[in-house]
Chains A and B, each alone.
Chain A
Amino acid sequence: MTAPPLAHAGHWAVGLIYLAPVAILVITLLVIGRRDRLAEAEELRQANQDEES
């Protein structure tokens, strides 16, 4: 009978620590992307307002 994957969690779970820099970077990029999009939308809104006024 083969052991379920969880039985070996101690062996492979430590590998997740290698993912931490990738996870931090991806979260940072998502935050930056969202901030950039919001800033662009705000710039567009301002430009439209200026044109209207």
Chain B
Amino acid sequence: MTPIRRRLALPALGTLAAFLVAAAPAQAHGLVGKQDLPIPKWLFAWAAAVVLVVSFVALATLWRAPRFAALQERTVLRLPVFLDPLCGVVGILIFVGIVYAGFAGTQEMTGNIVPTAVFVVFWVGLPMASFVFGDVFRPFNPWRAVGRGIGGLMARVGGGAPEPIAYPEWLGRWPAAAGIFGFAVLELVVTLTTRDDPSVLATLALVYAAVQLLGMSLFGVRAWSDRGDAFGVYFGLFATLSPLRWTRRGLLRRPPLSGTATITPGPGLVGLICVMIGSTSFDGFTASSLWTDTFASPLQTRLVDAGMSIEPATELVFLGGLLFMIAIVSSLYVLGCAGMRSAVPKAEGSTWSFAARFAPTLVPIALAYVVAHYFSLLSYGGQGMLSLLSDPLGDGHDYIGLADHAINYTWISANGVWYVQVVALLAGHAAGLALAHDRALLQFPNPRVAARSQYWMLAVMVGFTSLALWLLSNTA
């Protein structure tokens, strides 16, 4: 940079910074009284970036050999063989109960157990439970239990089920990515009245179950459950971060995060994880004034002016926004991988192969996004499950005496929620950095080259952290 340019650049940067800081109060209206943070929110993003850079330097200097490649597991508990089928039966009963409540219960959203069970407990609670307790969904997975039950029955009565078709390699986890995208469309695009209608949710649950049974009958229960069952794969990915792993025979303990080494990179994995991160980001983005004022309202108006009715116009705009956000997340990640490839001398493989190999390192970030965006929903909405369990159909019953249980909104302050969100994001991205560094040490045996390859992944992690904190700062 020439001296003249440098002289011009400094005042320009100063002016921009002053403009941005001065603009803060305009954006902060509506937040006063809810949160009383000691420093501006953007400073949290800056602090998070510093922490990530320091973590990166620490990893590069102190973590000189791969640690997660040789997975060490220890059995901590032996389980009776009947427990796995018993859990399957319980899972089927829960599924049947939810579907029944959807059709037979009140169609009022807050009175019926189905919307809260689906959008709070299942969609938000299970990822967090999977991280803490391991893949708790797998033994209770009703579709897998039915598939295995039918397979077992045919083996005993009908002389065995026909041989399944070999699962196509090219299909990979694309069915799972499509399933999670479909759920995100239901949650974020479809209009509120349709989305929260218990009978609609029950119908969709039955359709999903039918697709799973078809997939399992074609490709076999295990092959389909491992790659095609969207929710099974989704919860299974989060469970790889857990220090616990369940098998039919026992409970195993392992170092946290080490399970990600068992994720096989293949077709659809990058797409699935980008859908996971992109859809959560879009959920946060839709609460910002930038989305509403700059994108949603003008586009909606144009579509309505062009002759479209308001509901499909809104859904189309939101669908476009969701796809756009997934594209941004995917592009950021692929750019990071392109940078990684360029930083390695004589790198073998394309940018896409790098993207596939390093995709498992994004799993903790996807979890961090879920925790950060939905922590308040789970902490408040989750309490609502107590009264709903007591009166699941909303018809006035009080089975367990908790029908009048009120949600305690004061157990955690608004500041507390913000700190949980920041810590979750920071921990998730630091874990992502550690996993990427460990994987780089496997790919590039020279620790210096491995550290150098991660420069651009560091930029991606800082970018994701800043994006998430910016989105949260608009929604809190």
Instruction: Name A's B-contacting residues (CB within 8 A).
Output: 2-3, 5, 8-22, 25-26, 29, 32-33, 36, 40
> Chain A's nearest CB lies how many Å from the CB of B241?
25
Residue from B290, B297, B301, B467 in contact with A12 in the complex, judged by beta carbons closer than 8 Å: B290
Asked if A14 contacts B42 (CB within 8 A), the reply is: yes
Determine the distance from Cα of A12 to Cα of B23 in the docked complex, in whole angstroms: 9
> Chain B's nearest CB lies how many Å from the CB of A14?
4
Determine the distance from Cα of A17 to Cα of B45 in the docked complex, in whole angstroms: 9
Q: A8-B290, A12-B294 are in contact. Are A19 and B23 (CB under 8 A)?
A: no
Task: Please tell me if B246 contacts chain A, counting CB pairs below 8 Å.
Answer: no
- Which residue of chain B lies nearest to A15 when distances are taken between CB atoms in the complex? B470
- What is the predominant secondary structure among interface residues of chain A facing chain B? helix
> Chain A's nearest CB lies how many Å from the CB of B314?
15
Contact size class for B?
A: 35 or more
Q: A5-B294, A8-B289, A12-B294 are in contact. Are A18 and B459 (CB under 8 A)?
A: no
Asked if A21 contacts B290 (CB within 8 A), the reply is: no
Asked if B459 contacts A22 (CB within 8 A), the reply is: yes
Residues of B with C-beta under 8 A to A17 = 17, 20-21, 42
Residue from B45, B298, B456, B474 in contact with A21 in the complex, judged by beta carbons closer than 8 Å: B45
Asked if B27 contacts A10 (CB within 8 A), the reply is: yes
Listed by A's residue number, 22 A-B pairs whose Cβ atoms lie within 8 Å are: A3-B293, A5-B294, A8-B289, A8-B293, A9-B23, A10-B26, A11-B26, A12-B27, A12-B288, A12-B293, A12-B294, A15-B290, A15-B474, A17-B17, A18-B42, A18-B466, A18-B469, A21-B46, A22-B462, A29-B456, A33-B455, A40-B345
Asked if B20 contacts A16 (CB within 8 A), the reply is: yes
- Which residue of chain A lies nearest to B297 when distances are taken between CB atoms in the complex? A2
Residues of B with C-beta under 8 A to A18 = 42, 45, 466-467, 469-470, 473
